[in-house]
Amino acid sequence: MRSITLLLAVAVLATAGSTPAAAAGWSAPATLGQSNLNFMYGNNVAVAVSSHPQAESVAVWVEPTTMAVKYATQRNGVWSGTKTVYTANANAAEELTDPQVVIDQSGVATAVWGSTKQGPVTYCVSGRRVVRCIPLISFAKVATLAPGATSWGKANLSAQGWTVTDVQVGLDQGGNATAMWSYRATAAAVPALQTASRVAGSAWSIPQNLYASAATALPRLAVGPNGAAVALWTEQMAGAPTPYALRAAYKPAGGTWAGPETVTTQATAIAYLRSTVDGTGRAAAVWNDGYGVRWARRSGVWSPPEPLASAPDRVYAGTGPYAAYGPDIASNVAGDFLITWLESDVLASANSVEAELVLAAGASAHASWPAGAGVEPRVALSPDGLLGMIAWLDEDDSNTYAVALTPDAGWGQPLLMSTGAAQYATVWGTGVSLAAGSNQRASTVWLSVAGMYGQIKILGSRYLP
C-alpha cells in the first residue's frame, strides 16, 4: 500500500477549472435536511467517515428552528433523510451548542454537544432585596449510534454546571475516544477546560480539569491515530507587550495530560486556530497572526512558529499586497501534514485557495487554485495516506468545489460538487464541512438556497474512489 509520503518531493501545481462531479468521483448532491437561514446562520454540520458499509458517513447538526440535534446516515452509498438524536426542552428554554461527530472502524458513531437550560425559579438576596433567580443547568452530552441502528444511546459527559460550551471529541485507530469542553461550575466560578476519555466498548472516565482561566478562548482538541492528544487554546494576558498567548496541553499515547505549554505569544489576537496529531504522536497547530498564517509542531517541545506563504518573500498585511485567512490542518499515520488557507491578492482583487503538503521526511509541496471571493477552505487527510482533500465555497459563482490528492495522480483538478438544482445556489458565507477516511473515502456537506424567505437545504456528497 503506497501513501502520499512515497509520492511527492516537489510541488505539483494545480490549475483552474472544474469538472462535473459525477464524472470526477463525487456523487450527485443528496438532501440531508432543510432549515431556514434566518435561524441557521452558518454551516454547523459536522460529518465523519468510516469504511463500514452500514456507517459510511454520519452528519449531525443543530436545527435552530426546533433546537434539536439532527442527523443523517449514509449506508451502502445512500443518505437517509433527517432523523433526531436529541430534542431540547422548550419549556426550560434549553439551548444546544453545535455538535461534533466521529466514527470508529467498527461503524460506531459518537456525537457530542453542550446543553444549557433554565432550572426551577429560586429566590436570592441582592443588596437588601429578595429577587427571583433562575439558575442555569448545563451538561456536556454524548450519544452513540451502532452501525445499522436507528436510535442513539445518550448520556451526560460532564457534571452539572452553569455553562458548558465548545464540546469536542476525537478518536484513535482503536476506537478509543477523548472529549474536551469548556465548563463553568457556577456563575461565579472560573471557567475550566475539562476532558474525559473512553476506552472502546467501555464507559467514559470521570472528567478532569486541564486548565482554568477567565481569559481562555478558541479551545481545540485533536487526537492522533496512536492515541496521543493535544488541547490548544488562546489566552489574553493584560498588560503584556505581546498579550495574546497560544497554549497547549499534551497527552502521549497511553499516558496522562501534562501542561500547560506556551506555543507562542503575539501582538495580534488569534481568530482562527486548528490542530492535529499525526501517527507518531507529533502535534501541530496552525493559526492566524494578523493577516498572515503561522504553524508550529511539537516533538517533545514546540518548535518556533513558522510563517506559511504561497511564494517566497511575500508580504502579508492588512493593506496588502497579500493577506491570508482561515487556515486548517490535517495529518496522517505516516507523519505528513496538509495545510490550507485562503489568500487574498489585495492589489489584484483576487483570491486563491493555497495548500502546503509537508512530508514526514521534511520535503514540502505547494499548490494553489483560483477561488474568487470565498470563505475559509477545509482540509482532510485520510489516516492511511491514500487521500487528501481540500474543499471550499466560491462566493463569486455560489458553487462548492473540492480537489483531491492521491498517490497515483498527485493533485487533481477542482471538482464541482454543487450540480443540478444545487448549482449556483450555495449559501453565501456558510462554508463546507469535510471528512476523509480510509480507502479513499470522503464526504462533504454544505448549504444550498432552496426557495424564498431564507429556505435552505443541507446537501451532502461522497467521494467515489
Domain membership flag for residue 8: no
Is the bond into 321 cis (omega within 30 degrees of 0)?
yes
Domain membership flag for residue 131: no
Query: What pLDDT is recorded for position 453?
Result: 75
Domain tally, the chain: 1
Give the strand pairing for 19-20 and 322-331: unpaired
Is the bond into 260 cis (omega within 30 degrees of 0)?
yes
Which domain does 415 fall in, by range? 32-84+95-116+142-153+162-358+374-463
CA-CA distance, 108 to 190, in Å (whole number)? 35
Side chain identity at residue 29, one-letter code: P
Domain membership flag for residue 6: no
Q: Kind and range of the H or E element at 24?
A: helix 21-24
Domain membership flag for residue 133: no
Domain membership flag for residue 190: yes
pTM comes to 0.91
Residue with cell 495522480: 409
65: CATH: 2.130.10
Three-state secondary-structure class, residue 81:
coil
Cβ(141)–Cβ(155) below 8 Å: yes
In this prediction, the residues of the chain whose per-residue pLDDT falls under 50 are 1-24
Domain membership flag for residue 397: yes
Q: How far apart are the first and last CA of the chain?
A: 15
Copy the grid coordinates of residue 217: 478562548
Query: What pLDDT is recorded for position 162?
Result: 94
Cβ(433)–Cβ(416) below 8 Å: no
Neighbouring residues of 29: CB distance < 8 A, sequence distance ≥ 6: 21, 417, 418, 419, 420, 422, 448, 459, 460, 461
Domain membership flag for residue 129: no
Neighbouring residues of 61: CB distance < 8 A, sequence distance ≥ 6: 33, 44, 45, 46, 69, 70, 71, 98, 99, 458
pLDDT, one tens digit per residue, over 146-188 is: 998 989 999 999 999 999 999 999 999 999 999 999 999 998 8
Give the strand pairing for 399-406 and 410-411: antiparallel
Copy the grid coordinates of residue 233: 487554546
Query: What pLDDT is recorded for position 395?
Result: 86
Cβ(103)–Cβ(49) below 8 Å: yes
Q: Per DSSP, which regions of 332-398 are E strands?
A: 337-345, 350-358, 364-370, 378-381, 388-394
CA-CA distance, 67 to 113, in Å (whole number)? 12
Query: What pLDDT is recorded for position 23?
Result: 43
Domain membership flag for residue 204: yes
Cβ(89)–Cβ(96) below 8 Å: no
